[in-house]
Amino acid sequence: MLVLRNATVIDGTGADPRPKTHVVIEGDSIRKLGSETPRADDSRDIDLSGLTLLPGLIDAHAHLGLVYPLAAEGDPGLISPAEIAALTFENCNLCLDAGFTTVRDMCGVDGGLVRAIESGAVRGPRVFPSGPAIVQTGGHGHVSGPFCFQECHLAIPGLVQLTAICDGPDAVRLQARTNFRRGATQLKAFISGGVVSTTDRLEDTQLTVEELKAAVFEARARETYVSGHAHNVRSIRNGLEAGLECFEHGTQLDEATAQAMATAGAALDPTLAVTRLMATHWKEWGMQEFVVPRIRDCEAQMTQAVRIAEAAGVLLGSGSDLLGPKQNRRGLEIVLKAAILGAMRAIQCATQGNAKIMHQDHKLGTLGAGKLADCIAVDGDPLATPALLDDPARIVLVIKGGEVVKNLMPDRSERPAPAPARREAAAAVR
């Protein structure tokens, strides 16, 4: 048994912080949470006085394995599978150290990484993979140059594949089944043009409603869902008609479409961090300069989209969309959303909101009895200073499934529980 004592708890529900709260963890789950001092002779105690305890953060739009060149002129064959694996595993480490105990990988890795982490061979977060995204010929994610004689894309089953080109419902159905066979927990489809695309526009719609319905049918057969990369409202409307449950980015969202999403119970997963970082680091990310103004415009539009979705009552998530090696700015998404909605709401989006989107809110996203013991301790008050969540050095304790996977407090952690006699004496005084 592990007891976390004297923490200020932000439980992920949006409720006010609870000071001097104790959390009892048994096995991989939270047994109880409250102000009453736990009494257990065999517990290990960690004193969190002065620290803030939160649920383990969730990144609902991750790309842990996209560590190789993605630009059209980039050759993925220049980097070996061994290097890709090493860099992917490093991203897994960085993810945990940043306080993200769960990610939804929205194209890239498949169930191979999940198995490596669950076996203990790799230190990393709990991963919900989509496998390769379903894209159309000439659409966003068709990364080979338009005048290539042959397709040049990286596909390493068990490790990583960015996209799969599918034209027609039957091709979509086959790819969906392949993704699930390789461990996908949900599907992703590119249904609009992309910010950094060179052969399409942000305003383009991609994949037909019939193609999307084929993906939705296969997902529902597995009791899961499809999420769509969607920047414009026409693509979102197509997705709603097909039965998609979630939309990534939502850059050009308008009020009428937000109301339609809310009515359908569909979610929005904004990705502000990637637009901010791409606009400032486009050269090192391998982007072409002509897309930089488009990237900057997207951040402004997406900021407004978040406000519109919130006003309409759309379920909001939180995704970083980071790419490349050394993905160490995952918490920036929460910081940017806090500037729009406030810190508590931004934290809720990255915990409870993401868990609901992922159909995992019965065990993840909030701190409470019966939930998985995923939690982090922050040195400071993230409500007053949201930027703390973008600084891994201030994430001083990370617990995943009841196991301490990061601890920067050796001077006051893992203390033995008070001796029974001393507790009885204290009780007598009271």
CATH of the domain at 76: 3.20.20.140
pTM across the whole model: 0.93
Total domains in the chain come to: 2
Which tokens sit at 179?
């993704």
Using the 3D structure, point to which of 324, 357, 390 is the last residue of a domain.
357
> Are residues 387 and 410 located together in one domain of the fold?
yes
Amino acid 22: pLDDT: 97
Contact 425, 57 (CB under 8 A): no
Which tokens sit at 94?
């960085």
Contact 271, 258 (CB under 8 A): no
> pLDDT of 102-118, one tens digit each?
999 999 999 999 999 99
Q: Which domain holds residue 400?
A: 2-56+366-429
- The list of the chain residues with pLDDT below 50 reads 72, 416-430
Using the 3D structure, point to which of 357, 379, 399 is the last residue of a domain.
357
Amino acid 421: pLDDT: 37
Q: Measuring CA to CA, which residue among 353, 357, 376 is closest to residue 365? A: 353
Domain CATH for 10 = 2.30.40.10
Q: Measuring CA to CA, which residue among 162, 193, 200 is closest to residue 68? A: 162
> Are residues 107 and 30 located together in one domain of the fold?
no
DSSP label of 389: G
> Are residues 116 and 239 located together in one domain of the fold?
yes
Distance CA 283, CA 277 (A): 11
> pLDDT of 306-354, one tens digit each?
999 999 999 999 999 999 999 999 999 999 999 999 999 999 999 999 9
> Are residues 261 and 332 located together in one domain of the fold?
yes
Using the 3D structure, point to which of 357, 374, 393 is the last residue of a domain.
357
Amino acid 69: pLDDT: 75
Contact 320, 346 (CB under 8 A): no
> Are residues 312 and 392 located together in one domain of the fold?
no
> Are residues 339 and 399 located together in one domain of the fold?
no
Contact 3, 48 (CB under 8 A): no
